[in-house]
Amino acid sequence: MHFNQRFNKCIKIIILTLLCNEMEKNFVSNFEDTKPYYRNVVSGPLASQNNAQHHVSIRLKERDREFGKGHICSGVLIAPSVVLTAGHCIYNHKKKQSYHSSELIVVMGTLNRYHSTEQTLIYGVTHYYQSSTSHVQNLHNNLVIIMLERDVPTTTETVKMISWENFDNLSKNRNTKNLKVTAFLHNEEGLPLNQLMFLNASITSLSRLDCLKYICVDLSNIHLQDYGAPLIIDNQLIGIMSYSLDKYSTFMFIDITQYTDWIRQNIGDGHHRNSSAWGILGLIALTIFTIKQSKRLQYENK
């Protein structure tokens, strides 16, 4: 009798284990089906660490508690603590005001929007610069400089700055070939794809006023909604994705060669502690503090 009881107990444990395993499989399967990302189904090469080390993902910190959900735009690293992206990326359309720098984070060193690795770097944002003439509605001067909380180490293999100052104005090079865009894409239903893509691009010959102010680019019917994505040629940054003329045809990239002086003026040497404007503000704050302390000591000595 004792043996039968033990045998029955073992059978029950085995059955319960099998049921639990089956329930776990069903749960995992259902969970996978509800994930907010999908495998890439577009034609074209995936980006690699060799051709996309400059690419960054700009995210809302609050939304990114589940890694990847906070992505709002792409951007590009141009100096140890400097990222460029489209100006309207940092604008909260619901509240009709720009996001505070503390609401933003910058993620780099990963080719999968939803997957963090040991090489993934996550940085806070201290402040950003926009032109005084920028306009969210008409996208005039739609460029923003984001300053990171610290420098990206030069020894990091998965993240590298891209050159941006040594390219002639594109007005002389409208037939430029070998253009590439690194970007996160969406499928036809507007759902985000997980892998970063390395896309072929070509400059269009549209006779539009927009194409005189921007770089008009054709991406062969790619579903690109990733504002801030960089346009590059031979590892040289020349443009930042701003908007599209129509649904999936011609894309407008900001010609950064028109902004080089403005960028240099604001980033200083490109390091965290040496950005020009914040260095000046720090000096002013120190001066005010010194004056107040001096006056206080004079008052106490009277």
For the domain that residue 180 is a member of, what is the CATH number? 2.40.10.10
Q: What pLDDT does residue 140 have?
A: 78
Torsion (CA) 159, 104, 130, 287 in degrees, nearest 10 = -100
Q: What is the DSSP string of 237-261?
A: EEEEEEEESSSSSEEEEEEGGGSHH
CA–CA–CA angle 289, 293, 298 (5° rounding) = 150
- Say whether pLDDT at 276 is over 50: no
Enclosing domain of residue 241: 49-267
β-pair partners for 183: 197
Instruction: Kindly state whether residue 194 falls inside one of the protein's structural domains.
Output: yes
Instruction: Kindly state whether residue 54 falls inside one of the protein's structural domains.
Output: yes
CA 277 to CA 259: how far, in whole Å? Answer: 17
Handedness of CA 21, 22, 25, 28 (dihedral sign): negative
State the chain's mean pLDDT as an integer: 80
Point out the least confidently predicted range of 26-30, 122-126, 234-238, 279-283: 26-30
Instruction: Kindly state whether residue 295 falls inside one of the protein's structural domains.
Output: no
- Say whether pLDDT at 97 is over 60: yes
Instruction: Kindly state whether residue 151 falls inside one of the protein's structural domains.
Output: yes
CA 56 to CA 302: how far, in whole Å? Answer: 58
Q: What pLDDT does residue 30 have?
A: 42
Judged on CB neighbours under 10 Å (0-12, 13-18, 19+), 283 is: exposed
Instruction: Kindly state whether residue 285 falls inside one of the protein's structural domains.
Output: no
CA 275 to CA 269: how far, in whole Å? Answer: 7
Instruction: Kindly state whether residue 291 falls inside one of the protein's structural domains.
Output: no
Report residue 79: phi and psi, to 5°: -155, 170
Give residue-wise pLDDT tens across range 154-192.
Answer: 888 899 999 997 765 554 454 567 889 999 988 777 788
Instruction: Kindly state whether residue 92 falls inside one of the protein's structural domains.
Output: yes
Q: What pLDDT does residue 196 have?
A: 94
Number of domains, the chain: 1
Q: Tokens 């770097």 label which residue?
A: 121
Q: Which residue has the higher pLDDT, 23 or 146?
A: 146
- The amino acid at residue 160 is K
Report residue 15: phi and psi, to 5°: -65, -45
Instruction: Kindly state whether residue 212 falls inside one of the protein's structural domains.
Output: yes
Q: What pLDDT does residue 149 have?
A: 95
Give residue-wise pLDDT tens across range 202-233.
Answer: 888 665 666 777 888 888 767 778 999 999 99
